[in-house]
């Protein structure tokens, strides 16, 4: 059921929610949190609502959507209440803010928050430079961003690193759960050797590739390289080098990966790129700070950048070996020159008597 409330106020929205609960009895009361979605009023708004509805089936919550409209319009609040089959396992409140209200979203949210329940803020696309200092971010105990959905994902991830505060997280990190699980389980198999080097190959603008390389740098304490892939989407290949051979996980098509390691047969692994709703549901399972994400994020600057195509940066040891060989040839050329000059002189000496005889 969808109830439209054009040109309304938050007080009227609250009154309507009470009326719907008393008359319909369809709204769940056992809600564990309030999820606040901050986005611009566009076609993507419905995608975010659908993802939140799916996640609410695992985590019953009140979903408040702040859809910011045209800032040059007159101040107006259009609300929409969704319950029942249109709202997942709880209720959804869509607030479309126009004019000056678009910059005063926090004042519209506070009257609608569930009492004594944690607040989670989610920016499905563009996020503020410092989420913890944003008006909505200050209300939340957990702040979820998605650097992959921004115009410049790598720059957005760098901003997340500089502004990190306990409670921040990013869906680019959540998309790595299956990769981290598969690689960690591969290292649990014999031979139990230390990893000496790690390499990650992925799209140039893949923040998940950056975070995976940062995770290796923070946990393994070994040299880690990050190279740009020429084909494929997202993360394409991960190589962990050990003394007996490399553990290699290759996913060229974005769906199925092949795990190769010494002493074991090749294994095909389902590594489908995760949907937003799956990532959101996973992030709502915890409300405490993610220390592993923090360590991986702060270790990203330690990662060395490789060459396109996945090859690590050229090793400097190969160049000195070529220089002595080039120098060794120079004396040979100089020694060969006098010998070559000596032949014409000897030939001239032999021809001289012949001319005298004639």
Tokens of 149: 């959905």
Distance CA 178, CA 328 (A): 54
In a domain, 346, yes or no: no
Distance CA 356, CA 272 (A): 93
- Coil/strand/helix, residue 138: helix
Domain identity same for 154 and 201: no
Domain identity same for 57 and 106: yes
Q: Identify the DSSP state of 333.
A: H
Question: What domain count does the chain have?
Answer: 2
In a domain, 213, yes or no: yes
Domain identity same for 145 and 254: no
Neighbour count for residue 331 (Cβ, 10 Å): 9
Domain identity same for 33 and 116: yes
**β-sheet bridge partners, residue 37:** 65, 122
The whole-number pLDDT of residue 348 equals 40
| Ramachandran sector of residue 254 (left: φ over 0; alpha: ψ -120 to 50; beta: rest) | left
In a domain, 342, yes or no: no
The H or E element containing residue 219 is helix 207-220
Omega of the bond leading into 242 within 30 degrees of 0 (cis): no
Question: 171, 194, 226 — which closes off a domain?
Answer: 171
Closest CA relative to residue 170, chosen from 204, 215, 106 = 215
Domain identity same for 15 and 147: yes
Question: 143, 171, 199 — which closes off a domain?
Answer: 171
The whole-number pLDDT of residue 27 equals 53
How would you classify the pairing of strands 76-82 and 2-5? Answer: antiparallel
- Name the one residue in this structure whose structure tokens are 């939140």: 52
In a domain, 315, yes or no: no
Domain identity same for 279 and 184: yes
The whole-number pLDDT of residue 171 equals 98
Closest CA relative to residue 202, chosen from 236, 176, 243 = 236
Domain identity same for 16 and 164: yes
Domain identity same for 54 and 79: yes
Tokens of 238: 């991960």
Distance CA 52, CA 48 (A): 6
In a domain, 45, yes or no: yes
Domain identity same for 164 and 184: no
Domain range holding 291? 177-305
Per-residue pLDDT of the chain (358 residues; tens, 9 = 90+): 899 999 999 999 999 998 988 887 655 567 899 999 999 998 889 999 999 999 999 999 999 999 999 888 899 999 999 988 788 778 899 999 999 999 999 999 999 999 999 999 999 999 999 999 999 999 999 999 999 999 999 999 999 999 999 999 999 999 999 999 999 999 998 888 999 999 999 999 999 999 999 999 999 999 999 999 999 999 999 999 999 999 999 999 999 999 999 988 999 999 999 999 999 999 999 999 999 999 999 999 999 987 543 344 333 344 444 444 444 444 443 443 444 444 444 444 343 433 333 3
Domain identity same for 182 and 125: no
């Amino acid at each position: 059921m969808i109830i439209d409330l054009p040109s309304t106020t938050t007080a009227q929205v609250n009154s309507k929610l009470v009326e719907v609960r008393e008359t319909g009895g369809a709204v769940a009361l056992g809600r564990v949190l309030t999820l606040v979605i901050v986005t611009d009023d566009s076609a993507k708004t419905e995608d975010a609502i659908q993802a939140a509805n799916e996640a609410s089936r695992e985590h019953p919550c009140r979903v408040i959507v702040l859809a910011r409209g045209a800032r040059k319009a007159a101040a107006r609040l259009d609300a929409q209440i969704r319950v029942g089959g249109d709202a997942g396992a709880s209720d959804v409140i869509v607030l479309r803010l126009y004019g000056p209200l678009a910059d005063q979203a926090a004042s519209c949210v506070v009257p609608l928050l569930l009492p004594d329940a944690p607040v989670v803020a989610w920016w499905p696309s563009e996020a503020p430079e410092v989420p913890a200092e944003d008006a909505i971010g200050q209300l939340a105990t957990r702040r979820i961003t998605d650097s992959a959905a921004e115009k410049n994902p790598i720059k957005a991830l760098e901003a997340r690193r500089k502004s990190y505060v306990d409670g921040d997280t990013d869906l680019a990190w959540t998309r790595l759960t299956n990769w981290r699980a598969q690689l960690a389980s591969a290292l649990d198999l014999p031979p139990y050797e230390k990893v000496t080097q790690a390499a990650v190959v992925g799209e140039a603008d893949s923040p998940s590739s950056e975070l995976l390389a940062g995770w290796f740098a923070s946990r393994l304490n070994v040299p880690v390289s990050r190279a740009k892939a020429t084909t494929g989407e997202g993360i394409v290949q991960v190589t962990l080098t050990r003394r007996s051979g490399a553990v290699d996980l290759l996913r060229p098509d974005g769906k199925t990966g092949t795990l190769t390691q010494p002493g074991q047969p090749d294994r095909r692994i389902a590594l489908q790129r995760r949907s937003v709703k799956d990532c959101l549901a996973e992030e709502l399972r915890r409300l405490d700070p993610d220390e592993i994400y923090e360590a991986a994020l702060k270790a990203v600057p330690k990662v060395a950048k490789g060459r396109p195509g996945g090859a690590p940066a050229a090793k400097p040891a190969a160049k000195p070996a070529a220089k002595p060989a080039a120098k060794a040839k120079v004396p040979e050329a100089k020694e060969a020159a006098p010998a070559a000059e000596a032949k014409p002189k000897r030939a001239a000496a032999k021809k001289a008597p012949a001319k005298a005889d004639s």
